[in-house]
Amino acid sequence: MSELTTVARPYAKAAFDFALEHGAIEKWHDMIAFSAAVASDEGMATFLSSAETLEKKVEVFINVCGEQLDEKGQNFVRLMAENSRLKALPAVEKLYGELRSDYEKEVTVDVTAAVKLTKKQQDNLAQTLEKRFSRKVKLNCSVDAAIVSGLYIKAGDTVIDGTVRGKLDRLAHALQS
């Protein structure tokens, strides 16, 4: 995956810079996301690795994407196809999303709790995390009964383990040291 990330980085950066310059960040994100979904499809992946000509591959890929791609988006796909990089589109989407989040000063936070959080709890948590990270926070909440109580919060490289299980594990480790 790191190889695909390395390959995808300049494409994501170029697409983001172009979108930023033309005020179309969301539109480009949608086009790249759709193209990445098409490239990830098993049937399409098989077709792209077949012995078909480059022109045929590009034509079919763009036809499948249909109206989801404007002229500039089609050119972007053509460029990636000419460089045999269509399989890197999912990585381009991920990197483009990261560039967009950085630009919009937004962070996606994964929150795991023992029970489903209410809307009010989610709002309070989002406000607290926005102060901590100095960014707009988008929560992805999930439930894991094994946590017992508390929250497990992950935002990028930052992890906040406020679960009872985590506290017990840290206590056990401290007692063994």
Same domain, 12 and 49: yes
Same domain, 84 and 126: no
The per-residue pLDDT for 149 is 87
Same domain, 124 and 97: no
Same domain, 59 and 124: no
For the chain, the average pLDDT equals 88
| DSSP characters over 97-163 | HHHHHHHTTEEEEEEEESSPPPHHHHHHHHHHHHHHHTSEEEEEEEE-GGG-SSEEEEETTEEEE-S
The per-residue pLDDT for 31 is 93
Predicted confidence (pLDDT) at residue 89 exceeds the cutoff of 60:
yes
The per-residue pLDDT for 122 is 92
Predicted confidence (pLDDT) at residue 51 exceeds the cutoff of 80:
no
Give the pTM: 0.68
Q: How far apart are CA 86 and CA 118, in angstroms?
A: 41
**Among 40, 67, 101, where does a domain finish?**
101
Query: The CATH number of the domain where 124 resides is what?
Result: 3.40.30
Tokens of 148: 């017992």
Same domain, 76 and 42: yes
Same domain, 95 and 137: no
**Among 101, 116, 133, where does a domain finish?**
101
Using pLDDT thresholds of 50, 70 and 90, give the confidence band for residue 2: low
Query: The CATH number of the domain where 24 resides is what?
Result: 1.10.520.20
**Among 42, 69, 101, where does a domain finish?**
101
- Please count the structural domains in the chain: 2
Same domain, 29 and 81: yes
Same domain, 41 and 116: no
Q: What is the mean pLDDT of residues 80-93?
A: 89
Q: What is the mean pLDDT of residues 63-75?
A: 89
pLDDT tens digits, one per residue of 4-29: 788 889 999 999 999 999 888 999 99
Using pLDDT thresholds of 50, 70 and 90, give the confidence band for residue 127: very high
User: By residue range, what is the domain housing residue 126?
Assistant: 106-176
Tokens of 43: 């049937």
Same domain, 91 and 29: yes
What is the end-to-end Cα distance of the chain in Å, rounded? Answer: 37
The per-residue pLDDT for 156 is 78
Q: What percent of the chain has pLDDT over 90?
A: 37
Closest CA to 166 of 177, 154, 156, 151: 151
The per-residue pLDDT for 90 is 92
CB 3 within 8 A of CB 9: no
Question: Which residues have a Cβ under 8 Å from the Cβ of 11 and sit 6 or more positions away?
Answer: 76, 80, 85, 88, 92
Same domain, 75 and 132: no
